[in-house]
């Protein structure tokens, strides 16, 4: 396995594909977004917890804290960019003439 595969964001790995039948398409996509947002929130909470523990002296390994902080930051940045693209696509569809 090459080194590039280890650079994937943690909340994208192990994602199951949504159901493909017509009734569950929107529900599957909505559920996927909800799960992803929950994972981003969990990464933020973990980063905050480790930062607090570093300040109080409970954690001695600053590397662990910095890695958690960067994971949370990158996850949030990716989520914001995906949201921006979804909004942009929606606006483009709304501008289309029938």
Residue 54 belongs to what domain range?
Answer: 17-95
The tally of domains found in the chain comes to 1
In tens, the pLDDT along 32-68 reads 888 989 999 999 999 999 999 999 999 888 999 999 9
Single out the residue of 50, 71, 48, 45 nearest to residue 60, CA to CA: 50
**Residue 86 forms part of a structural domain:** yes
**Residue 79 forms part of a structural domain:** yes
Which whole-number Å values give the CA distances from 35 to 11, 12, 81, in the listed order?
9, 10, 17
Three-point CA angle 61, 12, 85, nearest 5°: 115
In tens, the pLDDT along 69-83 reads 999 999 999 999 999
**Residue 47 forms part of a structural domain:** yes
**Residue 1: what pLDDT?**
44
**Residue 12 forms part of a structural domain:** no
CB atoms within 10 A of CB 97: 3
pTM for the whole thing?
Answer: 0.65
CA dist 11 and 30 (Å) reads: 15
**Residue 10 forms part of a structural domain:** no
Q: Is residue 3 scored above 70 in pLDDT?
A: no
**Residue 26 forms part of a structural domain:** yes
**Residue 28: what pLDDT?**
77
CA dist 71 and 32 (Å) reads: 19
């Amino acid at each position: 396995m090459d080194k590039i595969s280890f650079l994937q964001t943690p909340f994208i790995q192990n994602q199951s594909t949504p159901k493909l039948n017509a009734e569950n398409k929107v529900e599957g996509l909505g559920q996927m977004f909800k799960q992803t947002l929950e994972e981003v929130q969990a990464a933020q909470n973990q980063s905050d917890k480790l930062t607090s523990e570093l300040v109080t002296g409970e954690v001695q390994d600053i590397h662990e804290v910095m890695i958690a902080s960067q994971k949370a930051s990158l996850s949030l940045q990716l989520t914001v960019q995906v949201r921006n693209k979804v909004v942009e696509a929606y606006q483009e569809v709304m501008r289309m003439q029938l």
